[in-house]
Amino acid sequence: MERLAGVILHPSSFPNDHGIGNFGTSAYRFIDVIAESGFKLWQMCPLGPTSYGDSPYQCFSAFAGNPYFINWDDLKEHGWIESKDLAHLKSLSKDKVDYGALFSAFWPVVNKAFIGFKKELELSEELRNELFDFYKNHDFWLYDYCNFRALKEHFGNRSHLEWKNENESKNATQKRNKGTFISPEAEKHAFTQFIFFKQFRKLKQYANNKGIQLIGDLPIFVALDSADVWANPALFDLSPEGFPNKVAGVPPDYFSEDGQLWGNPLFNWTAHKKEKFKWWTQRIKHNLDLYDCVRIDHFRGFESCWAVPVGETTAIHGQWEKAPGKGLFNAIKGQVERMPIIAEDLGVITPEVEALLKETGFPGMSVLHFAFGGDATNPYLPHNLKRNQVVYSGTHDNDTSLGWFKSLDSDSQEHLKKYLGISGENIGWDLFRASVESVANYAIVPMQDLFSLESEARFNNPGTQSGNWDWRYCSENLEEFYHESHGYIKDTLKCYGR
């Protein structure tokens, strides 16, 4: 790993007048600004299609892209939609993402664009060939996902566990899902995926040409209501009726005294071993094809995961269950030549997890928000960091540094100020400098800290059910940051060999 620095920002936070950030002009402007500031890394949350709760860590597919990120201006240029078709999207809030209103306004635009796309498809052999190549390259997940979404629409967008005549529908799908869509609605969802990946790859190429590497995020678990579980139930620990036998979470931790009850089904690792971890290999390959590097969320779950009995209202009464660990990664390495992976190794880390991390060689994580208030042995303090590590001032789960600092007790505040030799008045920038000064090869900071924003800009508060994932910045934030700070950042990164 080179010594590089970067920022965390999810595409939903970009400014525009379409209700949510997307792969449009604001994304390209963001890349320009961070590249001119000397940053080389852009990390984002998972880009999958979000389900109930709007979390990018609970998606309808571990492989599909979120159609909310489609740049509609591009589709207008193709003539598939007109400006008037975007009227409802343009009436949505520009300050935050209102996911309920977005859902209602979004899909009518997709329906209109799909009609225009099909008309051009009839006339353009080049477009047909491009589409069929996309189908072929993604056939290991695309048909399952699109047929799942079509059936989900048919059954009122309810969970697949609540579908009427689900067995009949599923049997029909499974007989046809290798190269055939179950309905025009399934083809519509394939259209959204075709456009998503085409636009994303164009954006990634632009970023790479500017010297920016993209870091993706891969949640270890998948949502119960997903195409993955629906199409591959044998790979998950489910009852004969399809319900989880136990669900995933983490025990009480920094974020919650009750732990975090995620609710995801656990893997049936015996079944994965029998198929030589094919599903996992496809998933890793798919992500490494999309991104320059991938962070695996909750890496310790590959050694053992916190299994909570179904029906529990908190994650307190769980137990650790073993996972394949080394065997899984050995199987993947046999089929993937290069694995630029960051392991999220936060939380309860045992010697077994440390051994797995050492065996894989993946860099782990350190978060400066967790460093202060104790003594000099705290592993997250800058003087205890390692080269093969990624240091963050905070992550998407943390408060902004300004909000975090204000919430600290006085002893922790004094420890931080004394350790860094600062006043605490510009804590976001202080932690930026502490990150890039460190020996850790990668140093990454949330964009909110570079904008010097307080707690209202927090992206996610683990353990809470509302008010998450909706933060957006305005164009003025980025331009003010650029004019006031990009020179300082560039000089600072150069000073510390980043």
Per-residue pLDDT of the chain (498 residues; tens, 9 = 90+): 899 999 999 999 999 999 999 999 999 999 999 999 999 999 999 999 999 889 999 999 999 999 999 999 999 999 999 999 999 999 999 999 999 999 999 999 999 999 999 999 999 999 999 999 999 999 999 999 999 999 999 999 999 999 876 666 666 555 555 678 999 999 999 999 999 999 999 999 999 999 999 999 999 999 999 999 999 999 999 999 899 999 999 888 777 788 888 899 999 999 999 999 999 999 999 999 999 999 999 999 999 999 999 989 999 999 999 999 999 999 999 899 899 999 999 877 889 999 999 999 999 999 999 999 999 999 999 999 999 999 999 999 999 999 999 999 999 999 999 999 999 999 999 999 999 999 999 999 999 999 999 999 999 998 787 889 999 999 999 999 999 999 999 999 999 999
Q: What is the pLDDT of residue 166?
A: 60
Using CA atoms, how far apart are residues 363 and 340, in angstroms rounded to an integer? 9
Q: Which domains does the chain have, with CATH numbers?
A: 4-62+203-495 (3.20.20.80)
The gap between the terminal CA atoms of the chain, to the nearest Å, is: 11
Cα 83 from chain centroid?
30
Give the closest residue to 445 by CA, choosing from 454, 437, 435, 453.
435
- Whole-model pTM: value is 0.96
Q: Which residue type does 483 have?
A: H
Burial label, 186 (beta-carbon count in 10 A; 0-12, 13-18, 19+): buried
Q: What does the pLDDT read at residue 254? A: 72
Phi, psi of 234 (to 5 degrees): -65, -20
Crossing angle of helices 99-123 and 184-209, rounded to 10° = 90
Contact 297, 356 (CB under 8 A): no
Instruction: Kindly list the distances between the CA atom of residue 493 and the CA atoms of 28, 255, 435, 488, in Å, as whole numbers in the listed order.
Output: 22, 31, 10, 9
CB 146 within 8 A of CB 189: yes
CA distance 397 to 57: 12
Inter-residue contact 231 to 144 (CB < 8 Å): yes
SS3 per residue for the chain: CCCEEEEECCHHHCCCCCCCCCCCHHHHHHHHHHHHCCCCEEECCCCCCECCCCCCCCECCCCCCCHHHCCHHHHHHHCCCCHHHHHHHHCCCCCECCHHHHHHHHHHHHHHHHHHHHHHHHHCHHHHHHHHHHHHHCCCCHHHHHHHHHHHHHCCCCCHHHCCCHHHHHHHHHHHCCCCCCCHHHHHHHHHHHHHHHHHHHHHHHHHHCCCEEEEEEECCCCCCCHHHHHCHHHECECCCCCECEEEEECCCCCCCCCEEEEEECECHHHHHHCCCHHHHHHHHHHHHHCCEEEEECHHHHCEEEEEECCCCCCCCCEEEECCCHHHHHHHHCCCCCCCEEECCCCCCCHHHHHHHHHHCCCEEEEHHHCCCCCCCCCCCHHHCCCCEEEECCCCCCCCHHHHHHHCCHHHHHHHHHHHCCCCCCHHHHHHHHHHHCCCCEEEEEHHHHCCCCHHHCCCCCCCCCCCCCECCCHHHHHHHHHHHHHHHHHHHHHCCC
Query: Could you give the C-alpha distances from 470 to 23, 260, 297, in angstroms and in order?
Result: 17, 20, 20
Taking residue 133's Cβ as centre, other Cβ atoms within 10 Å add up to: 11
Whole-number pLDDT of residue 168:
61
**Residue 46 near residue 217 (C-beta atoms within 8 A):** yes
CA dist., res. 240 & res. 278, Å (int)? 23
Question: Which residues are catalytic, by number?
Answer: 297, 344, 397
Instruction: Tell whether the torsion through CA atoms of 94, 95, 97 and 98 is positive or negative.
Output: negative
The answer to whether the CB of 405 falls within 8 A of the CB of 413 is yes
What's the confidence (pLDDT) of residue 123? 95
Burial of 425 (0-12, 13-18, 19+ CB in 10 A): exposed
Structural contact between residues 83 and 76, judged by C-beta atoms closer than 8 angstroms = yes
pLDDT score for 334: 87
